[in-house]
Amino acid sequence: MLTTLALISTLFAAPAPDSAEAGALQVAALERFHQQTFSNTAASVVFISGKDSLGSGFFISADGWILTNAHVVHDAEQFDVVLNDGRRFTGKVMERAKDDIDFALLKIDIKDSKPMRFDTSPVTVGTWISSIGHGAGMVWTMTTGMVSNVHPSGSKRRVFQTDMPINSGNSGGPIINRQGLVIGVVTAKIKGADNVNFGIRIDLALESLSKLGAHCECWRVLTTKGTPVFLDGEVVGSGPEVVIPAMAGSHRLSAVSNGNRLERSLEWPRDRDVVLK
């Protein structure tokens, strides 16, 4: 009987006195994470403005290459580009994605830009994401949310849905994961709906922009046409050219061409263009 009473007493005991403090510590840790995310990313995001449009973009190289949406730049060739530190440049459109995919590459004359890295892993529902951009003309604002859906029904583009608040001016901004890597680019919202917004997956940018692979923080693997290429045992594409976002550490690259197994190690930034033939 005493044992039963002790068990009941334990089950219905008041919360530990320090539970509120533990909750506060968790909130503080989340705040620090958000603050660090903004601090690490803001300098990579730019404000783009032209005669009839404005939007966001982000550096993909240390020498001024910028990824944004094609609909941000429209048909113009030059734009005003403002950096987070207040510097202003004239940006030139270097490439628009093929097949009317909503990507464009700009370039400004700078040698100290802070590039962002990519993550082309499959996007999954429930993934925590954030973005920094210039929604509604409010510069360098950060929003957070999650991936709500992948390949929404009826979509003709390789997009994912997010509940992250998006406004006009956010277009072209990076969508990043908890590791601070770009998984997509803000592209559209459904007007009149409550936070039904969309991003284009970053792997589609690598496929649709021929100049991106040569300038982003990526390994570019050149091999014979149709040859499967493997990174750490996982297939990542096939020749003649495969672009792989750079990752920390040492990795094993391999391929089988004309009956011969080809292997080599990869490290960033030691390696960039790699020939496997």
The set of catalytic residues is 71, 102, 171
What is the three-class DSSP state of 155? coil
Residues 205, 166: Cα–Cα separation, whole Å: 20
Q: Give the Å distances, CA to CA, from 253 to 119, 215, 271.
A: 17, 20, 11
| CA 199 to centroid of chain Cα atoms | 10
Write out the E strands in 50-123.
Answer: 54-59, 65-68, 78-82, 88-96, 104-107
Q: Which stretch of DSSP H or E encloses residue 203? A: helix 202-208
Contact 45, 173 (CB under 8 A): yes
**Using alpha carbons only, what angle is made at residue 267 by residues 272 and 263, rounded to the nearest 5 degrees?**
85
Contact 217, 246 (CB under 8 A): yes
Tally the C-alpha atoms within 13 A of residue 181's C-alpha that lie toward its C-beta. Answer: 19
Beta-sheet strand order (sheet of 218-223) = 241-245, 218-223, 273-276
Tell me which residue of 98, 45, 102, 108 sits closest to 69, measured CA to CA. 102
What is the three-class DSSP state of 84? coil
Rg (the chain; Cα; Å):
23
| Lookup: tokens for 175 | 């969508």
